[in-house]
């Protein structure tokens, strides 16, 4: 039995024991499946009922299965225009690869087919010959924790600032992140342009110091009063004050782009500076106006980057996008894209709670893999060796 057949057999076994019932209005959705080579090789599929979908999963056991966020009159019709678009859920996706995390330097590596060079980290081109490399990306608990934090923040903003946190379902992506589906009537008719506007708000695209919260045009530098503004503006201003009150002189120098002597001044006078910010005044640093403007611009930029959600833009804008069916298996990890009830989301640990195959062990040959955790056990690192895995 080759690897593909073995995996398919395992997937079949899984689907024969676990029914998938995670897609509301299943009759109005388009489905797509993928195999070893591509996550989507076939689209425009349609299932009339939940039992029809499960019959298909038990029989075909696809390595990947996705469904449309959109609702259609005729989901199987093609091209797209003939489907009869009826509206679309809002889907937000976080992936650890988009977060620029330090741990990727530890567990990701690359290999150059051309010259045989290899190394650690998330690298696109070979450091030796410059040609495009094969990337091997892995996921650790830090990655998953970071995507979870992003999701928790998104939930808060959707609920408190945008008022669209209704009929929501969250699931693990099966690999390196989380998906959130909003299925309320309210969001279904939203156009791509309206969805883009929402994404821009969430990612703080177009948020700049002067366009949003500051005025550097007069002698006195001003900012919006934190208590007088709401939403993203208030979050950025609060983040700035928090940073000033907690940062060391070194951090103030690094993020503010100023000399250490000036950073020490800010540090010593932080209480006074914050007090002025609350009154809408950005205090002068010793020296020229230009130095102060640069400092405040950098600080606003830093606070903005902390507040901006690093979500996948394309997923939330494209109304015809198909996304992983919750509670199905992910073909490259074998993990379940498990639905997580909101009340359990904080405690959810994918590498423990989304493991589909755990009882029988198999021997595999591993070229290279970093340390990782699966179920309650830790494994690796491995390099060109045989290992026994669950």
140 belongs to the binding site for Zn ion (CB under 5 A): yes
282 belongs to the binding site for Zn ion (CB under 5 A): no
48 belongs to the binding site for Zn ion (CB under 5 A): no
143 belongs to the binding site for Zn ion (CB under 5 A): yes
Token pair 């998906």 in the structure block, residue: 179
61 or 133: whose CB is closer to Zn ion?
Answer: 133
373 belongs to the binding site for Zn ion (CB under 5 A): no
DSSP string for 128-174: TT--B-EEE----HHHHHHHHHHHHHHHHHIIIII----SEEEEE-S
33 belongs to the binding site for Zn ion (CB under 5 A): no
Quote the DSSP letter at residue 102: T
In the bound complex, what is the minimum distance in angstroms from residue 155's beta carbon to Zn ion?
22
In the bound complex, what is the minimum distance in angstroms from residue 258's beta carbon to Zn ion?
32
In the bound complex, what is the minimum distance in angstroms from residue 265's beta carbon to Zn ion?
38
Residue 300, C-beta contacts closer than 8 angstroms, at least 6 positions apart: 208, 209, 213, 214, 236, 240
In the bound complex, what is the minimum distance in angstroms from residue 370's beta carbon to Zn ion?
9
311 belongs to the binding site for Zn ion (CB under 5 A): no
128 or 238: whose CB is closer to Zn ion?
Answer: 128
Element (H, E) at 15: helix 3-17
Q: In what order do the strands lie in the sheet with 31-34?
A: 42-45, 31-34, 64-68, 322-324
Q: How many residues of this chain interact with Zn ion, rule: CB under 5 A?
A: 11
127 belongs to the binding site for Zn ion (CB under 5 A): no
Among 128, 238, 305, 339, binds Zn ion (CB under 5 A): 128
126 belongs to the binding site for Zn ion (CB under 5 A): yes
Among 40, 115, 260, 271, binds Zn ion (CB under 5 A): 115
- Report residue 284 as tokens: 């002068």
Give the torsion sign (CA, 218, 223, 228, 231). Answer: positive
In the bound complex, what is the minimum distance in angstroms from residue 139's beta carbon to Zn ion?
6
Angle between helices 249-256 and 231-246 (to 10 degrees): 140
Provide the 3-class DSSP secondary structure of residue 319.
Answer: coil
- Chain centre distance of CA 282: 34
Among 33, 65, 69, 112, binds Zn ion (CB under 5 A): 112
Element (H, E) at 16: helix 3-17
298 belongs to the binding site for Zn ion (CB under 5 A): no
115 or 228: whose CB is closer to Zn ion?
Answer: 115
Q: Which stretch binds Zn ion (CB under 5 A): 96-104, 279-287, 310-318, 372-380?
A: 96-104
115 or 220: whose CB is closer to Zn ion?
Answer: 115
120 belongs to the binding site for Zn ion (CB under 5 A): no
First-residue to last-residue Cα distance in the chain: 18
Give residues in contact with Zn ion (CB under 5 A): 103, 112, 114-115, 117, 126, 128-129, 140, 142-143
């Amino acid at each position: 039995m080759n690897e593909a057949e073995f995996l398919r057999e395992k997937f079949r076994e899984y689907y024969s024991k676990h029914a998938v019932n995670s897609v509301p209005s299943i009759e109005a959705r388009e489905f797509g499946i993928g195999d070893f080579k591509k996550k989507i090789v076939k689209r425009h599929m349609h299932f009339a009922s939940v039992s029809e979908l499960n019959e298909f999963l038990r029989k075909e056991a696809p390595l990947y299965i996705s469904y449309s966020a959109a609702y259609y009159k005729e989901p199987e019709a093609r091209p797209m225009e003939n489907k009869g678009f009826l509206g679309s859920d809002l889907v937000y996706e976080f992936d650890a690869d988009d977060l620029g995390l330090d741990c990727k330097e530890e567990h990701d590596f690359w290999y150059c087919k051309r010259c045989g060079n290899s190394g650690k980290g998330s690298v696109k081109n070979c450091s030796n010959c410059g040609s495009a490399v094969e990337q091997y990306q892995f996921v650790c608990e830090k990655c998953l924790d970071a995507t979870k934090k992003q999701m928790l923040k998104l939930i808060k903003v959707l609920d408190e600032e945008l008022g669209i946190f209704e009929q929501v379902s969250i699931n693990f992506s099966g690999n390196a992140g989380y998906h959130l589906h909003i299925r309320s009537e309210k969001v279904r008719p939203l156009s791509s342009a309206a969805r883009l506007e929402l994404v821009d708000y969430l990612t703080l695209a177009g948020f700049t110091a002067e366009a949003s919260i500051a005025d550097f045009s007069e002698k006195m530098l001003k900012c919006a009063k934190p208590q007088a503004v709401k939403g993203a503006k208030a979050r950025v201003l609060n983040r700035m004050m928090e940073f000033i009150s907690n940062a060391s002189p070194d951090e103030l120098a690094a993020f503010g782009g100023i000399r250490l002597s000036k950073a020490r001044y800010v540090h010593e006078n932080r209480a006074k500076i914050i007090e002025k910010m609350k009154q809408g005044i950005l205090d002068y640093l010793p020296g020229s106006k230009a130095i102060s403007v640069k400092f405040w611009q950098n600080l606003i930029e830093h606070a903005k980057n902390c507040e901006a959600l690093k979500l996948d833009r394309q997923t939330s804008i494209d109304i015809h996008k198909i996304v992983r069916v919750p509670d199905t298996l992910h073909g490259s990890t074998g993990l379940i894209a498990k639905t997580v009830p909101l009340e359990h989301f904080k405690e959810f640990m994918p590498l423990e709670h989304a493991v589909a195959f755990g009882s029988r062990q198999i021997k595999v040959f591993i070229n290279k893999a970093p340390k990782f955790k699966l179920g309650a056990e830790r494994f690796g690192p491995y390099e060109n060796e045989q290992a026994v895995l669950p």
